[in-house]
Amino acid sequence: MLSFLGKRAVASGISLVGLILLVFFLSRLTGDPTGLYLPLDASEESRNQFREIHGLNDPLIVQFFHYMGDLIRLDFGESIRRAEPAIDVVLRGFSWTLQLAAITMTLVVAMAIVVGSLAAYYIGGIFDRIATFFSLIGASAPDFWVAIVAIVVFSVTLGWVPTSGTGTVWHWILPISVLFIRPFGLIVQVVRGSMITALGSAYVKTARAKGVKMRPIVFVHALRNALLPVITVIGDQAAALLNGAVVIETIFGFPGVGKLMIDSILQRDFTVVLAAIMVTAMAIFLMNILIDVLYSILDPRIRY
Amino acid sequence: MTVSEQTHIGIPEIPDAPNPILRTLRMLWADKFAFVSAMFLVLVLLSAVLGPLLLEDIATKQNLRGRNMPPFDFSKDWQFWLGGDALGRPLLARIIVAAQNTVFVAAGAVFFSLTIGTSLGLVAGYTSKTMSQVIMRVADIIMSFPSLLLAVIVLFMLESSVFNLVVVLAITRIPVYLRTARAETLEVRERMFVQAAKVMGASTPRIVFRHILPVVFPTLVTIATLDFAFVMLAESSLSFLGIGIQPPEITWGLMVAQGRPYLTTAWWLSFWPGLAIILTTLSLNLLSHWMRTALDPAQRWRLENVRKKNG
């Protein structure tokens, strides 16, 4: 197990370096941020001074080694726009995204497992048909479109919830509901599929023959075995939420890491872009490892 | 008397082998949802191919008196039935024209990731262990990237064009096919017919392409159908954010974005293109659902039995 974790950490480290290389040089290609931050009539001297302060005068490769050198000391550089450490800015945004993703994923997993399992148990019945139909629609819905239609209906027309921001609990309802739809649709289908297989197996027949009631059969006997493929999908969807909430955050003006990233790209705040990408990537790595560990807990046959 | 007639008389029991196309169509007919989806997708495909040729002029002609014209005014020409956009251009015609970019970006991305991913997967599954290790690690790296964020950055840096969009989307989807192709190849290569081919002296390319690929391919096509929907949604999101396709080119995602400022006064500007996206992805999902049954010899009877019952 430990050697497995070590291997995973090394592999993650390598891909992280690749990621940094790619993003560092690509972002530098968009041009010099000086023009964006200084007034149009700024003198050449002050422009040079600005570049000097932010280390933009050195050749690219020198800048890169400076950056990596600082990075080893966990110094992610300073945000040009906000004049505070980039990592602080990013972590602030990331904590918002993390809350959003965690709440959404908890709701999704809980509801999808119940709905998918029941659909599998009553296969072919009316509940199964309704669940399948709605989960298919959910899995097909473009979230940005659902978001703006929901704003028109629930915020503008009905006035139930605010359109954007984060002030109160009410502000969270729309973003969470919109983010909920797609993963819910996908996971319900996977739960249903793997639950059908599990319910057809011999140990479930034995349990039935013993007279075990329906609820323990589904949620105790079958669920644990049906959960393995589901966990993979949950992991993929959680990762998608962490990096894909960009659109939803932009629409709802939610101060998460996705919106921060888009803003920083537009403002050529390179250090923040890099820090944001790194924090997100690290979160995804950690989650992938967590999923592998969960796998071996659920199925003792899997050993690393 | 010819030879073929003789054999017919000799062995009368053998029925004609069913025409594969006819058989597929019958199985499609057996699942009404899949049938409707397939019809709808054909319609989308026709719009994508013919739309711009036939309707380019109508779709770009501005008409300031018809700005944000409400839908369902059937006294107007057919292209205005879904209303007009902010410049008075007919929405229905624009949706048909926009189908081209939407479908072609997704098709291009799926095609490239399918071909590259499958080839690499076959290689990783059939050849040496080191090769396989290298390929799988690269796939892991791509998988662990926050793909949408990366697409945002890359497209912003490299100026977005249809080509760049296809490349970026294709690269992020390669691992999906690669992993499936490799896993299936590892299993298929141990089967008897592959061993037999090897014993008979078939070359490695022949074994891989003539014997393994046909077995693996149906699974990959099913995944590709689902993935088409995924890529379409990704492209729409990027275009919606303003870093995908750039005006005057149009896609459905971009149309939703263009309609956003008018949401409260003219909901139809964003609503129809969004509906087009959702219907297309839904059809793809339903079709992929059907394909999983139709391509699986163990489950195919579900579709064929219905046919017998009906006639």
In chain A, which residues have their Cβ closer than 8 Å to the Cβ of B236?
142, 144-145
Say if residues B71 and B81 touch (Cβ distance below 8 Å): yes
Please check whether residue A152 touches B, CB under 8 A: yes
Q: Is residue A79 part of a domain?
A: no
- Residue that finishes a domain, picked among A24, A49, A72: A72
Q: Which of A35-39, A183-187, A249-253, A296-300 has the lowest mean pLDDT?
A: A35-39
Nearest residue in B to A284, CA atom: B144
Which residues of chain B from 8 to 67 reach within 8 Å of chain A, CB to CB? none
CB-closest option in B146, B158, B286 to A280: B146
Q: Is residue A304 part of a domain?
A: no
The percentage of residues in chain A with a pLDDT greater than 90, rounded to a whole number, is 5
In chain A, which residues have their Cβ closer than 8 Å to the Cβ of B158?
26
Report how many domains make up chain A. Answer: 2
A263 and A158, same structural domain?
Answer: yes
What pLDDT digit, counting tens, does each position of B100-145 carry? 888 888 899 999 999 999 888 888 888 777 887 778 777 777 776 6
CA distance A53 to chain B (A): 24
A116 and A258, same structural domain?
Answer: yes
- ω before B248 within 30° of 0 (cis)? yes
Band the pLDDT of B308: cuts 50, 70, 90. very low
Q: What is the model's pLDDT at position A252?
A: 83
The answer to whether the Cβ–Cβ distance between A152 and B274 falls below 8 Å is no
Please check whether residue A26 touches B, CB under 8 A: yes
Which residues of chain B from 156 to 175 reach within 8 Å of chain A, CB to CB? 156-158
Please check whether residue A231 touches B, CB under 8 A: no
How many degrees, rounded to 5, is the angle at CA A9 between CA B231 and CA A284?
35
Is the pLDDT reported for residue B68 higher than 80? no
| ipTM for the assembly | 0.75
Residue A15 lies in domain:
2-72
What pLDDT digit, counting tens, does each position of B239-293 carry? 888 777 777 788 888 888 888 888 777 778 888 888 888 888 888 888 887 887 7
CB-closest option in B158, B256, B286 to A136: B286
Nearest residue in A to B278, CA atom: A141
Q: What is the model's pLDDT at position A245?
A: 75
* Range B210-222 average pLDDT: 82
* Range B296-301 average pLDDT: 66
Q: What is the model's pLDDT at position B17?
A: 63
What pLDDT digit, counting tens, does each position of A236-295 carry? 788 878 776 788 888 888 888 888 888 887 777 888 888 888 888 888 888 878 887 887
- Residue that finishes a domain, picked among A39, A72, A105: A72
A15 and A124, same structural domain?
Answer: no
Say if residues B207 and B198 touch (Cβ distance below 8 Å): yes
Q: What is the model's pLDDT at position B304?
A: 67
Q: Which residues contact A168 (CB under 8 A, 6 or more apart)?
A: A162
Please check whether residue A250 touches B, CB under 8 A: yes
CA distance A164 to chain B (A): 15
Query: DSSP string covering A81-99, please?
Result: TTSSBHHHHHHHHHHHHHH
Q: What is the model's pLDDT at position A31?
A: 67
A169 and A265, same structural domain?
Answer: yes
A294 and A228, same structural domain?
Answer: yes
A126 and A251, same structural domain?
Answer: yes
The percentage of residues in chain B with a pLDDT greater than 70, rounded to a whole number, is 80
Say if residues B290 and B34 touch (Cβ distance below 8 Å): yes
**Best mutation target, A140, A263, A282, to test chain B (most B CBs within 10 A):** A140
A126 and A56, same structural domain?
Answer: no
Band the pLDDT of B1: cuts 50, 70, 90. very low
CA distance B277 to B251: 10
Band the pLDDT of A66: cuts 50, 70, 90. confident
CB-closest option in A140, A152, A284 to B146: A284
CA distance A144 to B232: 13
The answer to whether the Cβ–Cβ distance between A142 and B154 falls below 8 Å is no
Q: Is residue A303 part of a domain?
A: no
* Range B195-222 average pLDDT: 84
Q: Is residue A249 part of a domain?
A: yes
How many degrees, rounded to 5, is the angle at CA A169 between CA A166 and CA A174?
75
- Average pLDDT, rounded, for chain B: 78
* Range B299-309 average pLDDT: 59
Residue A90, Cβ density class (10 Å: 0-12 exposed, 13-18 middle, ≥19 buried) = buried
The answer to whether the Cβ–Cβ distance between A145 and B267 falls below 8 Å is no
A246 and A199, same structural domain?
Answer: yes
Q: Which of A227-231, B55-59, B234-238, B249-253 has the lowest mean pLDDT?
A: B55-59
CA distance B214 to A118: 37
Band the pLDDT of B24: cuts 50, 70, 90. confident
Please count the residue pairs, one from chain A and one from chain B, whose beta carbons lie less than 8 angstroms apart: 116
CA distance B251 to chain A (A): 14
Q: Is residue A81 part of a domain?
A: no
Query: Dihedral sign, CA of A187, A188, A194, A195?
Result: positive
Spacing of C-alpha B221 from chain mean position? 9
* Range A48-52 average pLDDT: 75
A68 and A104, same structural domain?
Answer: no
- Average pLDDT, rounded, for chain A: 81
Q: Is residue A241 part of a domain?
A: yes
Nearest residue in A to B255, CA atom: A145
Q: What is the model's pLDDT at position A56?
A: 72
Collapsing DSSP to helix, strand or coil, A78 comes out as strand
Q: What is the model's pLDDT at position A111?
A: 93
Please check whether residue B274 touches A, CB under 8 A: yes
A163 and A43, same structural domain?
Answer: no
Collapsing DSSP to helix, strand or coil, A230 comes out as helix
The answer to whether the Cβ–Cβ distance between A27 and B157 falls below 8 Å is yes
**Best mutation target, B149, B159, B278, B285, to test chain A (most A CBs within 10 A):** B149
Q: Is residue A133 part of a domain?
A: yes
What pLDDT digit, counting tens, does each position of A117-175 carry? 888 888 878 888 888 888 888 888 888 888 888 888 887 778 777 777 777 777 788 88
Q: What is the model's pLDDT at position B303?
A: 67
The answer to whether the Cβ–Cβ distance between A11 and B286 falls below 8 Å is no
Please check whether residue B306 touches A, CB under 8 A: no
The percentage of residues in chain B with a pLDDT greater than 90, rounded to a whole number, is 3
CATH of the domain at A258: 1.10.3720.10
Band the pLDDT of B11: cuts 50, 70, 90. low
Is the pLDDT reported for residue A213 higher than 80? yes
Q: Is residue A9 part of a domain?
A: yes
**Best mutation target, A136, A145, A157, to test chain B (most B CBs within 10 A):** A145
A68 and A133, same structural domain?
Answer: no
- Residue that finishes a domain, picked among A23, A49, A72: A72
* Range A196-219 average pLDDT: 84
A272 and A236, same structural domain?
Answer: yes
